Chain A
Amino acid sequence: MSENQLSAVETELYDRQIRLWGIESQEKLRAANVLLINIRALGSEIAKNILLSGINSLTILDDGIVTEEEQEKNFLLSKDSKGKKIAEEVLLKAQALNPLVKIKADTDSPASKDPSYFKEFTIIVATCIKTDLLLKIDKVCRANNVKFIFGDVFGTFAYSVSDFQDHEYHEDQVQLAGKKRTHEGAEKTTVKVQGVVNYPELKKVLILPNTKQNADCIKKSKRRNELFFIMLSLIEFRNKKSRNPSLESKENDIKTLQDIKKDIFQLYQVDETKSKLDADIFEIVFGEAIPVCAVLGGVIAQEVIKAVSGKEVPINNVFLFDPITYDGKEETVGV
């Protein structure tokens, strides 16, 4: 039996998903090496789902220390994890989710890593990092054909952004064919349909105030989902403050966010008077709603599976979760 063929144990374990995406997809997953940057509430959800899917290896890069608050919202930690290194503390429970996957903990700071570190992976998944690091990683990824996706949860708002470069995919479409008899129906045939999605590089997606070099890349779109600007505002808040909005400084943080949003609207030439966003939209961006982490963790892991397997239509390229209606929509930005 060759290296990349599935064993009987694996086909039994992964049976219910092989029946959905096929054995070739499963074999590609089995060869995939994934880097996960930061394993907090959202990160642990992503880790769970991709470990269960049956990848080859998962490297967890996180230099954080377990706090009481972190322990309470991360099911990969336990009571005695407090004060220890988070990347190492999740190992035991992460490994239990799937003993077949090789898991490695790396407690270095993501920002301290040499660019060449990021070359070695099939796909990189990042949460809770600043734009300069995102752009640095994206550059390495594009040069080395490594797929990249990142996302965050702010309160009940959530998003993800993908750069799968020039991504070829296929999907099975079922078509009705042949005779149509009254009682027996038509026979269905499955056709393999191929497609390509060309992702823009992240510096064309994350255009923020004061990154003038890119400002002329902004394409005005009247139908832009306004949650995209909320996403940019939150990213810019983190860039400026090196932290997420906090309930302890709620009023000030909301004011800062409003100011940032104003700048972003200006940059993107959005008429604020026509905005349909709630005036108090930033009320709901504090903390991380656990169920929203579960939703986004599912979405991001599914995109990882699509990126690795080349099966099914991936989200191109921004996913926005509406904190009020709970709609989850694709928004194509930067192309």
Chain B
Amino acid sequence: MNVPLKEAVATSKVLVVGSGGIGCEVLKNLALSGFKDIEIIDLDTIDVSNLNRQFLFRKEHVGKPKAVVARESILSYNPDINIKAYHDSITSQDYGLNFFKRFNIVLNALDNRAARNHVNRMCLAADVPLIESGTSGYSGQVELIKKGVTQCYECQPKPPQKTFPGCTIRNTPSEPVHCIVWAKHLFNQLFGEDDPDQDVSPDTEDPEAKIEGQEHTETESGNIKRASTRQWTQEIKYDPAQLFNKFFKNDIEYLLKMENLWKTRKPPVPLTWEQAASHEGDTAEEENNVKSQDMKVWSLSKCTKIFADTVGVLKEELAGKTFLVWDKDDKPAMDFVTACANIRAHIFTISTKSRFEIKSIAGNIIPAIATANAMIAGLVVLHAFRVLLQDYQKCPSIYLRQKSIHSKFVLAADKQIEQANPKCYVCSPQPFVNVFVNTQTMTVKEFETELLKKSLNMVAPDAILDGKGMVVISSEEGETEVNNDKKLNEIGIVDGSILKCDDFLQNYELTVAINHYEPQEKDDPLYKVVANPDELKAKESINGEKNGSEEKKEEESDEDDLMIVNELEDPQEGSSKRRKLNPPEDKDAEDDDLCVVES
């Protein structure tokens, strides 16, 4: 280290956001490199499955706050550092502009896009350089974000999370993941919080099932019964045989009547409780070691037995509570989903999976290893050195790739920093975005939650209807609640309206142009967000973005070091190196398997 760097390091104030996989490594590197003033913030507590890489934590720390233990651990080998730990969410109102302005640099080590977007905006607003990083399995990346110098985290639209149309889940599953999503919905129908979007019975509204010129008149099953599924379940006292026959025999028979669905597909085969329980080809051998319980695919009769057993256990757990919350680490809940997903897969001739594999998909588990985190965290601090010397041009993005026989690169750095997208709806001088919503059916509250908060990532938005100067959404309690249940058009938000939106915490103002839109095809999203109007035509022809599909999206994984996997695969214009890294066979396509279902 030369003298100016040594000085900069010793006098700089650093914020590390997240003390998980990358966070632990970053903290160690900072402490060993001579940083003296560090603050860390993390909302999480320590879990056993963190210990294979989050090396500042030990078994006796399980259940304790990560930020607090990380601080103690660092102090144990260097007591001369000032470290402040916050066991809190970075999106909280307590961490406003003035909080961020105190730092010379912010280092992100986060696990979800919403928090990344938020810190991106805070650092832009406070004009503090931010180093963004993430890993997923063997891969990872490091990127500098500096206002007016580089692109921001939101300059390039991120590929939306993979979601599935409701009718694929309810009527025509074709992949194991469809059965797993269905099984989680079944759990919620029987034991969880009521959610009409998670119906598991046949969907008679499926446009594909309709016969041309003939509106369906069925009323005996399907949608009609849905409101009473839970009630009926309670009436039959959670009798496993009756439940089984309803979901795996009667509902399947009903689906078979929707003949259009099976013209090009293999029809499902209804299964009775008796058939399943004594299914042939299942042997009695039941090894009881971890490997066979978790790694081997259960037989159909075993699935049936576990279905019955777990229904019994979960029924008891439910007694005295309003509902259960599904958790991948809760044994009966995970066993139930494994059994039901595999029974349904069997019915639809879809390949069945082990409990271990189903847990990955149902729990949205992104694999994480110490080595990748170590490499990425090393690069984060190397970039931090250059940033402190304001050598921003020397901080292009760096990518960690799994070694392949097609490429010599393990770490590949871009040749130069990426320029900001002039039409970015976050960092451009006048942020502007087009939204496509059904102004006749969407309520103001839905607009606030789905569009402004979930899609546009505001935390506490205000919205003023342009021209009329009317406040339609307010972050002040009690000001606009009266609007909540009104449809957008009822308060004058129609096609062509302009909303001036504002998030005080993020110091962010956004002009939103409203476009009235009604989904046409069954896979069309419920609403769309388009940042660049030039993209409109192209986007429409490829069926739009899937911002609001039937399945709720939930991208937060339980891993601190998660990056959104698709980003790695994002083909970026003007970076030939990255293309070179993707061999034609593109075996990295496996990453796409990590589609995210709600957890």
Interface residues of A (CB under 8 A from B): 1, 5-8, 11-17, 19-20, 23, 41, 45, 48-49, 52-54, 72-75, 77-79, 93, 96-97, 99, 156, 171-174, 176, 181, 183-185, 187-188, 190, 195, 287, 289-295, 297-299, 301-302, 305, 312-315, 319, 321-322, 325-331
Contacts and interface: CB of A to CB of B under 8 A. Distances in A.
Contact of B49 (A15, A172, A183, A312): A15
Contact of A298 (B365, B372, B559): B372
A321 B382 CA distance: 13
Contact of A327 (B25, B403, B409): B409
B382 A20 contact: no
A16 B368 contact: yes
B585 interface: yes
B11 to A, nearest CB: 18
B29 interface: yes
Contact of B370 (A12, A293, A301, A315): A301
B29 A291 contact: yes
Most A Cβ at <10 Å: residue of B172, B381, B398, B403: B403
Contacts of B356: 19
A314 B374 contact: no
A298 B48 contact: no
Given A302-B371, A312-B403, A328-B409, A12 B590 contact: no
B185 interface: no
Contacts of B48: 12-13
A290 B291 contact: no
A13 B378 contact: no
Given A17-B52, A290-B381, A321-B411, A23 B295 contact: yes
Contact of B59 (A99, A176, A331): A99
A328 B559 CA distance: 26
B168 interface: yes
Given A19-B360, A77-B77, A184 B367 contact: no
B471 interface: no
B29 A327 contact: no
For the complex, would chain A's binding face be called helix, strand, loop or mixed by DSSP majority? mixed
Given A49-B370, A52-B52, A291-B381, 17 more contacts: A6-B291, A17-B368, A78-B77, A96-B58, A97-B55, A156-B382, A172-B590, A174-B587, A188-B593, A290-B32, A293-B378, A301-B374, A312-B402, A313-B405, A315-B403, A326-B379, A331-B408
Most B Cβ at <10 Å: residue of A16, A73, A184: A16
A321 B371 CA distance: 16
Contact of A16 (B32, B402, B404, B559): B559
B172 to A, nearest CB: 8
B350 to A, nearest CB: 9
12 contacts: A41-B32, A53-B371, A93-B77, A174-B589, A174-B593, A184-B168, A295-B378, A295-B382, A298-B371, A299-B371, A312-B402, A328-B410
Nearest to A15: B49
Interface of B: 1, 25, 28-29, 31-33, 48-49, 51-53, 55, 58-59, 76-77, 79, 137-138, 165, 168, 172, 174-175, 289-291, 294-295, 356, 360, 365, 367-375, 377-382, 385, 398, 402-405, 408-413, 523, 559, 585, 587, 589-590, 592-593
Most B Cβ at <10 Å: residue of A7, A12, A99, A315: A12
Given A20-B138, A327-B413, A328-B411, A314 B290 contact: no
Contacts of A195: 405
B281 to A, nearest CB: 23
Nearest to A321: B411
Contact of A329 (B29, B168, B369, B409): B409
Nearest to A179: B174
A293 to B, nearest CB: 7
Contacts of B369: 16-17, 20, 53, 302
B587 A173 contact: yes
A52 B55 contact: yes
Contact of A6 (B290, B374, B590, B593): B290
Given A93-B77, A174-B593, A298-B372, A330 B403 contact: yes
Contacts of A6: 290-291
A85 B316 CA distance: 59
B380 to A, nearest CB: 8
User: What are the nearest 7 A-B pairs in CB distance?
Assistant: A328-B411, A294-B378, A298-B374, A174-B590, A20-B367, A295-B378, A298-B375
Nearest to A189: B351
Nearest to A45: B374
Contact of A315 (B55, B295, B410): B410
Contact of A289 (B365, B371, B377, B382): B382
A37 B367 CA distance: 30
A190 B76 contact: no
Contacts of A99: 59
B387 to A, nearest CB: 13
Contacts of A185: 175
A289 B368 CA distance: 25
A49 B371 contact: yes
Given A174-B587, A183-B168, A319 B365 contact: no
Contacts of B77: 75, 77-78, 93
Contacts of A319: 410
Given A93-B77, A301-B371, A16 B382 contact: no
Contacts of A79: 79
B290 A291 contact: no
B378 A298 contact: yes
Given A12-B49, A305-B371, A183 B165 contact: yes
B168 A313 contact: no
Nearest to A14: B52
Nearest to A294: B378
B25 A181 contact: no
A57 B374 CA distance: 21
B173 to A, nearest CB: 9
Given A184-B175, A289-B382, A326 B25 contact: no
A176 B295 CA distance: 24
B370 A48 contact: yes
A55 to B, nearest CB: 12
A11 B289 CA distance: 11
A55 B360 CA distance: 24
A287 B378 contact: no
A313 B403 contact: yes
Nearest to B561: A16
A292 B378 contact: yes
A133 B372 CA distance: 30
Contacts of A289: 1, 382
B590 A188 contact: yes
Nearest to A188: B593
Contacts of A321: 411
A181 B58 contact: no
Contacts of B408: 329-331
Contacts of A312: 138, 402-403
